[in-house]
Structure 1
Amino acid sequence: MTAAAVGLSHSPLIGKNDPEPDVLARVDEALTTAKDFIRDFDPELVVLFAPDHYNGFFYREMPPFCLATAAHAVGDFGTTAGPLSVDTAAAAAIARGVLDRGVDLTISSRMTVDHGFAQPLEMLFGGIDRVPVVPVFVNGVATPLGPVARIRALGTAIGAAAGELDRRVLYLASGGLSHEPPVPVLEGAPPKVADALIEGHPPTPEQRARGEHRVVRAGRDYVAGTSTMTPINPAWDNQLLDLLETGALTAFDAWTVDGMAEQGGGSAHEVRTWIAAYAALAATGDYTLDYRFYEAIPAWIAGFAVTTARQR
């Protein structure tokens, strides 16, 4: 078995509230580097770690993480709606291997996913159904959140289980680094909002359009300096990337839930997907970070990063 990893930030504002052309050019160059890396590695299976933004997981049942044996994308923010090409047999084998290693993993036989899963598949592979995939949801917005050490344990167990498949496996992390988009919060929410966050009522097309418009407007306010959202924190983002680059993954065990939010904003916990993916890669041997790109992009309300890594 050989393994590699790619980390890629996502944003619902890509293509809707874009930065200056020179920034887009640098992002495009980073994406081309990642796509070239993937083409050279030629993965037989992609294990995709991504969050959800109250499109598939709700407070009625909110697991810290969940592996899917089948998944369907809702098509929010202009991404594709439809089934992901989930490798059900591989997903089931990895799930059994994770449980055998003592990590309490939730399994979904019909997971609903959103742009957090769809964007990286579209950006790197050209579609949500172009490569065999095992989707792994990692909660990054719905409090209370568990210790980061458990996310690292999840990644380690998935990497060890996938290592028994004798396939070329790419671990793909999807998530912004420091960022605080207008994601609703259950605590103190009005009754109608709280009910939607708990029960997961699917929005009408009109409600979804209004919600997406609010996010676009928030991005424009953020660029204009009229927003109260937590600023992007390049120092914190690069500290994360430094730890990933050096393989010092146990250092994340000391990161606290409150500290991550204070440093990186309310949605900074999406970096849990990166920690899980790199822990999975490290489970079967040391790795080398081949490429690292980072840029703070206010128009996308995100510290935006791209990384590639392979086993030594």
Structure 2
Amino acid sequence: MASELALCCLSHTPLLRRADPGAAVAERVEEALRGAREFAREVDPDLVVVFGPDHYQGFRYELMPPFCVGTAATAIGDYGTSSGALDVPQDLADDLIAHLLASDLDVAMSETMVVDHGVAQPLDVLFGSSAAKPVVPVFVNSVAEPLGPLRRIRRLGEAVGEWAGRLDRTVLLVGSGGLSHDVPIPRLREATPEAAAYLVDRRRTPAEQQAREETVFEAGQAFARGDSPLRPLNPDLDRDILRRFEAGDVDGFDALDVGWLGEQGGSSIHEVRAWIAAHAALRTAGPYRTESSFYQPVPEWIIGFAVTTARPVDRGQT
């Protein structure tokens, strides 16, 4: 029997529930997240495949793959997210890796994957904890330059969807990240030696991590005041991206130039790669229908915040 696939893509931010965007905006976001939780509860997946980035916590320039499947994973618990081991079914992760390699995708494998809020936060939002459901984490590099063409991410998603479709399980595909936002992280070739060390191989101490989180909070406050060197949010671009997904135009992202996308949407608009992979995976089950789509620019969180749910169109439906 074929699997049942469903999708939930959502933004993540270190400043969720930590910086105040105002009561009206906060309630709109919380309502969208409640809807996503209800969707996940209704789907009741046997397995979650989460496509997500990392912010130099688990993956650094000492060895930076374009994508990687974790056969075991631990969440570090940054920015108030859950910490500890994820429930990764090793046999399924191994099987996915074999399938991706057979599909001509040179995917990396990690027996000790470390995930940060980019993976843990959506799992916390949807299920209450990053360990609540069996999950296969798929790291998608969206931060560390250079970045490959978007067609490679689409192909990754398609191969994951082909694999998931044969499992005879209910599988929820989660894409984490985006939309438009520019993060206060230096680029490797422009960083000071001390900052570059954290990008390459230096791990933060707990005190250094706390200081980093305070710096990000202050950056959000400055951005909201309009006193920041970070690129502004781009709601027009974000809404265009959401329209593309709703129309099922996953292939259309192939034509987008990576450099142009960063110029228009900021350094971390590239986290939309996780959304592309998830939608490409869902599309392997046939045409899909977007069931909900939410968008809200939130300067206090330095992000264009979005939440989308979707399922394949019922074959009996016209």
TM-score w.r.t. length of structure 2: 0.96
Match of 1:276 in 2: 277
> 5+ residue gaps in structure 1?
none
Query: Which one of the candidate residues 145, 148, 151 is aligned to 2:147?
Result: 145
State the alpha-carbon separation in 2 of the partners of residues 184 and 107 from structure 1.
Answer: 27
Deviation at 1:195, TM superposition (A): 2.3
Q: How does 1:171-250 map to 2 (within 5 A)?
A: 171-199=173-201, 201-250=202-251
State the alpha-carbon separation in 1 of the partners of residues 269 and 20 from structure 2.
Answer: 21
Match of 1:294 in 2: 295
The alignment of Structure 1 onto Structure 2 pairs a total of residues equal to 311
State the alpha-carbon separation in 1 of the partners of residues 298 and 72 from structure 2.
Answer: 33
Dislocated runs of 4+, deviation >2 Å: none
Q: Provide the secondary structure at the position in 1 that maps to 2:238.
A: helix
Match of 1:164 in 2: 166
Residue-by-residue CA offset, 1:25-60 (whole Å, 9 max, x unaligned): 111111111111111111111000110000000011
Q: Provide the secondary structure at the position in 2 that maps to 1:262.
A: helix
Residue-by-residue CA offset, 1:64-123 (whole Å, 9 max, x unaligned): 111111000111111122111112121111111111111111111110110111101111
Partner AA of 1:121 in structure 2:
L
Query: Which one of the candidate residues 110, 118, 121 is aligned to 1:119?
Result: 121
Instruction: Name the Cα RMSD after superposition.
Output: 0.9
State the alpha-carbon separation in 2 of the partners of residues 35 and 14 from structure 1.
Answer: 16
Deviation at 1:24, TM superposition (A): 1.0
Query: Which one of the candidate residues 136, 139, 154 is aligned to 2:138?
Result: 136
Q: Provide the secondary structure at the position in 2 that maps to 1:129.
A: coil
Partner AA of 1:117 in structure 2:
V
Sequence identity (%): 49
Partner AA of 1:233 in structure 2:
N
TM-score w.r.t. length of structure 1: 0.98
Q: Provide the secondary structure at the position in 2 that maps to 1:278.
A: helix
Counterpart check, 1:99 vs 2:111: no
State the alpha-carbon separation in 2 of the partners of residues 303 and 169 from structure 1.
Answer: 27
Partner AA of 2:189 in structure 1:
E
Deviation at 1:228, TM superposition (A): 1.6
Deviation at 1:284, TM superposition (A): 2.2
Deviation at 1:176, TM superposition (A): 2.0
State the alpha-carbon separation in 1 of the partners of residues 258 and 58 from structure 2.
Answer: 23
State the alpha-carbon separation in 2 of the partners of residues 41 and 78 from structure 1.
Answer: 26
State the alpha-carbon separation in 2 of the partners of residues 175 and 18 from structure 1.
Answer: 20
State the alpha-carbon separation in 1 of the partners of residues 39 and 17 from structure 2.
Answer: 24
Deviation at 1:184, TM superposition (A): 2.5
> 5+ residue gaps in structure 2?
314-318
Q: Provide the secondary structure at the position in 1 that maps to 2:165.
A: helix
Residue-by-residue CA offset, 1:168-224 (whole Å, 9 max, x unaligned): 11100110200012012211211122222111x221111111111110000000111
Counterpart check, 1:253 vs 2:266: no
State the alpha-carbon separation in 1 of the partners of residues 268 and 80 from structure 2.
Answer: 21
Select between 187-196 and 136-145 the one with higher mean Cα deviation. Answer: 187-196
Q: Provide the secondary structure at the position in 2 that maps to 1:293.
A: strand
Residue-by-residue CA offset, 1:216-274 (whole Å, 9 max, x unaligned): 00000011111121111011001111111111111000111111101100111000000
Partner AA of 1:97 in structure 2:
H
State the alpha-carbon separation in 1 of the partners of residues 146 and 189 from structure 2.
Answer: 11
Q: Provide the secondary structure at the position in 2 that maps to 1:164.
A: coil
Match of 1:5 in 2: 7
State the alpha-carbon separation in 1 of the partners of residues 196 and 228 from structure 2.
Answer: 24
Partner AA of 1:302 in structure 2:
I
